[in-house]
Structure formats: structure tokens, C-alpha cells
Structure 1
Amino acid sequence: MLTSWRRYADHHPRLVETAFLLLLYVVTCRQFISGEGAGWAPGLAIATAACLSLLWRRSRPRHVVVFTGLCAGLAVGLDYVVQPLLLLPLLVALYELSVRTPERLTYGYYLGVVALILVAPVFPDHSDQSWVEKGVSPTFWLLLLVVYGTAVRARRAYLDAVRSRAEHAERTREEEARQRVAEERVRIARELHDVVAHHMALANAQAGTAAHLSRTRPEQAEKILTELTGTTASALRELKATVGLLRQSDDPEETLEPPPGLGRLPELVDAFSSAGLQVTVAVEGEERPLSGGVDLTAFRIVQEALTNVAKHAAASTARVRLAYDRDRLTLTVTDDGGGGEDGHVPSAPGGGFGLIGMRERARSAGGRLEAGRRPGGGFAVTAELPVHS
């Protein structure tokens, strides 16, 4: 029932406002025409003026409080019986003021109208009410409405703050979700780039070497073609594993196969050797177990760096150096090839994602990566990674 009335009031605000003011006017007039004081005519005029001013209580609350306070003081001065129902317009005006203005300002106006009502009985009167009855009762009822209105204003401010925080949290949650989606897309794109670029470059190098040796060394060419089959099969497996990331459920036990790490470095070196690139690996310091993310990052950086050597550098050898410290791993991939200004033949149009991907991988693992031309010729890629990210 109460919900229905609230819904009706929300849909018919003017009708509800009119009914409220009419009821207020009738109740106030009833107190003035009780036969006491200066008579019904002055009281009716005071009630009419005070109630009409309430039409502007929301747009000009301070002016309405002053006007209704003057009306109340005039009524007290004319010997009307002071009671809460006689002060209804002033009570409503003070409540609206306390809801819409700061607390200090509201209490200032409250003290002003109370002083006005307390001063009015000083003039000669013939009513049976004492000065205390004319002063204490209005002071209490006006203070009650001010306190209640201030509490309502504080509650509204609290609800607005809660609503604002909820809206901010919702926007932040949506932005975080979009950011996570974007990061996941970048991660999968980087993974696909590493898999495709490495295996396709390796397959291209093996096919080129086999074609070159097919007439002079057919046995070696046949061996390379056999290894080419393994390269393409490995590419398909890794592509299947990467695409499987998009299809797997939330159950971490359903991954297709463990991600690659530095344990597969000998296999990587053998693959490049079959393509004509001789790779040497040097390990310094005591080998330490790496966390899964760092192990994958280190392997992908070595893989991408060697792929760039095979694709862009005029070099037949490359070196991989793994230096273990107490809490860090420093890996360096170097070559002594010629080519462009930076030691590499310029990439094909649309290339250039290899170095970007390696830097992103290093940052995501909590490390950093540097790449550039070596003073003595060739190119060097150096990455520093934490042992545990």
C-alpha cells in the first residue's frame, strides 16, 4: 500500500504538492479562527500569506524562512495561542532550509526566528499564556524540525556518496575488464607471433638449405627435409596449444601441454643447426629453478632473438649466454653478422614486432631488455629477469 502511494506521488508531484499545501492551509487557519487573539480576520490573512510563501520554499528557502518567521512573530504579538499547529508554515520552511543548506547556516536562521518569536511577547498582551509558554514551546518544536532536517540532509549526502562510489566502482570494474581483455589479446598475439615467426623462419631456412644442397649433397638435404617435417609438426603443436588457451575452461588442469622453458633449449639449438645457424650456449653461475612465467619468458626471448638472427643477420653463428645470480638471470644472445646499420638487414614491411614483444615479455616478468648493435659488429639482445616473478 505504501509503495503504491509513493509510486503515485512520483508520477503526480504537482497534485501531491497542491494537496499538501491545502491541508496545511486548512490546519493553520483552524488555529487562527479559534476565537482567541485579535480575531479570525487577521489570523486568516497571516495564515494565507505564510502558506502561499511555501510555494517558493525549495527555490528560495532562506527568504521563505524569514517571511514565515515574521508571520509567526506577528501572530504571537497579536495574542494568538502559540502551539505547534499555528507554527506549521514556519516548521515546514525551516525543515526545507535544513535539508538544502549547510548546518551552520540553518542554525543561524533558526536562532533568528526564535529570537523574533521570543521578543514578540514583550509587547503588552491579554492572553492567558505565560511568556515561558510562548517561548519554550516554539523553541523546542522549531529545533526538532531543524535537527530532523539536518539528519535527512546528512543521510541524503551519505546515499549520494555511496551511489557515486558504486558508479565509480562499476566504471572502474568495466575499465579493468576491458584492460584485462586487451592484455590477454596482446599476450595471445605475442605468443602466436613467437610461434609462427620462429617456426616459419626456421622452416624457410631449412627448405632453402635443403634446396641448395639437393644437387651436391642429397643425403644431407634429405636429412634436413626430415627435420623440416619435425619443425612443421612442432609448429602445429604449439599453435594448437596457443589456440587452446582461447577454448580451455577455467579448470587449470585442462591445459593441453606444459609451456616451453629453458629445458627445451638444446632442442631449439638443434633446430637452428639444421637450418645452417650454429648456436653455442654458455652457462655461468649455479643454475637455479625458475618460476613458470620467467622460464617461458626466457625461452621465448632466446627463441625470438635467434629467429631474428636467422631471418635478418648475415651470420652463420650465434651465442647464447645464461648468467645466474642469486636472484636474477641475465641472458644474452649475440651474433657477429653484417647487414644494415644496426647489424641486421632491414625487416620486411610490416615487421618490427619481435623486439617489441621481447620487451613486453621482459617487463611482464618484472625484468628489462636491451637490444642494439655491438661495437665490434653484429647485434646483441640482453635481458635481465628475476628468478621468481
Structure 2
Amino acid sequence: MRGVRARPVLLDSALALAVAALMVAGAAVRGGDLGDRPGAAGLALAAAGAVPLLVRRRYPIGSLLVIVALTCAFYLYGFRTTLGAPGILIAAYTVWARYPVRQAWPPTVIAVVAYETAMIAGRASHPIPDTVLALLQASATVLIGHSVYIRANRLRETAERAERAEREIELEAQQAVVEERIRIARELHDVVSHHLAVISVQANLARYVFESAPDTARGALDTITGTTTEALDELRRLLSVLRPPRHEPGEYRPQPGLADLPALVGRLSDAGLTAHLRVTGTPRPLPPGQQLCAYRVAQEALTNVIKHAGDASAELTLDYGDDGLRLLVIDSGGGAPPRANHAGHGLVGMRERARMYGGVIEIGPREPAGFGIELTLPYPNPGRSAGEP
């Protein structure tokens, strides 16, 4: 039965075949008995009354009306069904099992009136008993079909409530994660700010008394060492909360920097982009954050060349100037310029990264052709204290 229910087309085909066989077996001429068989046309019309059952699930109301029309035509042509009209009952059941009362009763009334009219016009042998029997069968069919509709509605409402409850639980869990991350971020900010302030004060003290009071300088350095250790321990504990429960080996690796730009250009060249890296000026060390900023801007710019510039080539220039680092990505043209993604990536993300480190980024077309992205990052000021904004 599960296999049959899983194949509704097969079930409806078998049902239509069984009804057609029953209608043909019970077909008789008007006033005759079961053995008084109609001709080929009558038998074909009797069997045709079961064909609409093949599409009863897709067109319930249409199937009911067509079956009633064919059955009425069978009666009006001078034939009768000695074994009943199960096709009408099955189609009526489908209507009441699929539709609410306000939609199911009009076609049902039409079907009952048409059936009774055709039966009387066809001069049925026992009109009153046949009418009573038809009304009883119709009433039972309506009750059974409507009960199935109510049960299906209840099951559907239960499933919808369960789905809504599951979504609410998921949203609550996501909200809890967001709130926890905000709390951790605030705590992380407080911990880092406190320890960095202590380190800054002690470092300034050690520098100030380095020559005049070596013992005091040594004590300040000891304090810096202890504070740094405490800060690292706190960071490990807090960040461990943010890590997923499962992660692949090697997932946590050092963030890329300027030294990884040649490998980036090589990977994109393997992907089909003609790219060149040019370094000018005297390289100097930069903090990891600034290096990551420059790397991500270069990565996004070169990726945009692949996406939007077609077969264009690209040149990545890294210029160590006197006051800052200048990163320039220019393509040779051939496609539409990339559009900003307001979800936080793309060109908007580049500007945010540049602003984070006090840099400036210029994005736009180049003459005579192509598109360019130029990032300028100032070198860190060694005279500024770590605790200063």
C-alpha cells in the first residue's frame, strides 16, 4: 500500500480501470436486466465515464462535472447502470477531501441535480428508490470526504505550528549567539584596553628611567612581561568561546601579508588571469594588520578583474614611499566596472579596511582604458604611545 500511495498516477490509473470495468459489466438497455447488453457505442460511453478519474487529483471539480455529464449522456441515450455509478462518488469524494464547504457544495449540487434529471428523463425503472439510494450515497460521500479534509487541515496546521516553533527556536538561538558575541566583544575590549594601558605606562616608565634607575626600569619590564602573559591568557580563553566546536586541521593559520602577494598573483595566473607584480621603493616592515589590509584589497581587486574585465590583464604595484605604502591594481579594460556590494563585501569592504588603518582608497576608471584601485596606507608612527587612540 505504501508503494501504491507513493505513485498516485498508478493508483488513479488502476482505479479508473476498475470503475470502467464495473460500468461496462453493469451496463444495460433501458428497462432491461443485467444480461440485456447495449451496443458497442453504449459500452464505450459507459467506460468513458471513468476516464476523468485519471486527473481527479489535479482537477477535482472538473473531473466530477465531466463524469456526471458522461453518465447523464449514458442515461439519456437509453441505457442504465445496474451496478451503480462509482465514478461519480469517487470524484465527489475527491472534491470534498480537497476543498472547504464553500467551494465543494456548488459542484456537488450541480452533479446531484443533473444526475437526477437525467435519470428521470431517461425513464428509470425505479426512480424513487434510485433517488433515495443516490442521496444516501451522496451524503455518505460528502461526510467522509469532508472529514478527510478536516483531518488533513489539522495535520497541516500542526505541521505549520511545529515549523514556526522550530524557526522561533532557531531565531532565539541565533539571537543568543549574537548577544553572547557582543558580550564577549565588550569583555575582550575591556581586557585588551586595560592590559595595553598598563603595558604602555610601564614601557614609558622604563624608557624614561632606563639610564638613571635601572632597577626601576627592570621592574617595569617585569610588569610588562607579566601583564602581556595575563593578556594572552585572557585572549585565549575568550577567543576559545568563539571557535566552532569542530574545525579542520590547519584552519587556524597566520593571516596573509605582503610576503604572500607573489603567491596570490601566481594562483590567479593559474586561474587564467594575466597578472604581474611590481615592487618599488625600499621595503620596510609593517604591522600585521596593515599587511592584511593591503593583501585583502589586492585580493579583492584582482578577483574583480577576473569577474568583470573578461580577458584583460592586470598589474599589481607595491610602492614603498617616504610617508606610506601605495598599492595599485590596474587592469587593461574590457568589461564593466565592478559594483559595490552593500552586504559588506566588494568595494565597500575595501573602503572600510582602508579607513580602519587611516588609509585612503581611490576607485575608478583609468585613461585611456581599464579600471584601477589605489590604496595608500600611512606608516605607523613609532613615537605614538600604544595607549593613544
SS in 2 for 1:164: helix
Contact 2:56–2:91 (CA under 8 A) maintained in structure 1: yes
Q: Is the 8 A contact 2:46 2:74 kept in 1?
A: no
Decide whether the 8 Å contact of 2:68 with 2:114 is kept in 1: yes
Per-residue CA shift, 1:149-179, capped at 9, x if unaligned?
2232333333333333434444444444344
Alignment of 1:233-252 (within 5 A): 234-235=230-231, 238-239=234-235, 242=238
Contact 1:37 1:80 in 2 (8 A): no
On the 8 A contact 1:192/1:239 being kept in 2, the answer is yes
SS state at 1:110 partner: helix
2:96 maps to which residue? 98
Does residue 211 in structure 1 map to residue 207 in structure 2?
Answer: yes
How has the CA–CA distance of structure 1 residues 73 and 139 changed in structure 2, closer, same or farther, with 3 Å as cutoff?
farther
- Tell me if 1:137 matches 2:98: no
Shift of 1:78: 7.1
Residues 29 and 44 in structure 1, CA contact (< 8 A), matched pair in contact too: yes
Aligned-partner residue type, residue 107 of structure 1: W
User: Any idea what the Cα deviations from partners look like across 1:361-381, whole Å, max 9, x if unmatched?
Assistant: xxxxxxxxxxxxxxxxxxxxx
Task: Normalising by structure 1, report the TM-score.
Answer: 0.51
Return 190-199 or 117-126, whichever deviates more: 117-126
Q: How does 1:357-368 map to 2 (within 5 A)?
A: none
**Contact conserved, 1:38 with 1:80, CA < 8 A, in 2?**
no
- Between the aligned partners of 1:48 and 1:22, the Cα distance in structure 2 is 9
CA contact (8 A) 1:118 1:134 kept: no
Query: Are residues 1:187 and 2:180 paired?
Result: no
CA–CA distance in 2 between the matches of 1:67 and 1:73? 10
Question: Counterparts in 2 of 1:1-389, with a 5 A limit?
Answer: 5-10=1-6, 13-33=8-28, 35-36=32-33, 39-41=36-38, 43-74=42-73, 85-120=83-118, 122-123=120-121, 125=123, 127=125, 129=126, 131-216=127-212, 221=217, 224=220, 228=224, 231-232=227-228, 234-235=230-231, 238-239=234-235, 242=238, 350=356
How many residues are matched?
245
- Residue identity over aligned pairs, in percent, reads 31
1:55 deviation in Å? Answer: 3.0
Q: Post-superposition shift, 1:185?
A: 3.5
Q: Secondary structure at the match of 1:86?
A: coil
**Cα distance in 2 between the residues matched to 1:147 and 1:89:** 17
Residue 193 to residue 350, structure 1, CA distance change in 2 (3 Å): farther
Q: For 1:241 and 1:55, how far apart are their aligned partners in 2?
A: 66
User: 1:41 is paired with a residue of what secondary structure?
Assistant: coil
Whole-Å separation in 2 of the counterparts to 1:7 and 1:37: 36
Q: How far does the alpha carbon of each residue in 1:134-157 deviate from its partner, in whole angstroms, 9 at most, with x for none?
A: 211101212222232223233333
CA contact (8 A) 1:106 1:146 kept: no
Q: Which ranges of structure 2 fall in alignment gaps of 5 or more residues?
A: 246-353, 359-389
Cα distance in 2 for partners of 1:99, 1:175 equals 36
Structure-2 separation of matches of 1:244 and 1:114: 73
- Aligned mates of 1:124, 1:38 — CA distance in 2: 19
Hey, what's the Cα distance between the residues in 2 that align with 1:37 and 1:78?
17
* Superposed CA offset, 1:189-233 (max 9, x none): 332332122112211211212321344455655665565566446
Take 2:104 and 2:19, find their aligned partners in 1: how far apart are those partners? Answer: 23
Assess if the C-alpha contact under 8 Å between 2:38 and 2:79 holds in 1. Answer: no
SS of the aligned residue for 2:192 comes to helix
For residues 22 and 121 of structure 1, do their structure 2 counterparts lie closer, same or farther at Cα, with a shift above 3 Å needed? closer
Question: What residue identity is the alignment partner of 2:62?
Answer: H
C-alpha distance in 1, partners of 2:124/2:194? 107
Moved more, 64-73 or 165-174: 165-174
**Which protein is richer in helix relative to its size?**
1
- Within 1, Cα distance between the matches of 2:155 and 2:112? 32
- Structure 1 partner of 2:262: none
The one-letter code matched in structure 2 to 1:21 is A
1:77 shift after superposition: 5.9
- Aligned letter for 2:12? E
SS in 2 for 1:40: coil
Q: Which amino acid aligns with 1:68?
A: I
Name the amino acid aligned to 1:100: R
**TM-score normalised over the length of structure 2:** 0.51
How far the C-alpha of 1:92 sits from its partner, in A, is 1.6
- 1:27 corresponds to which letter in structure 2? L
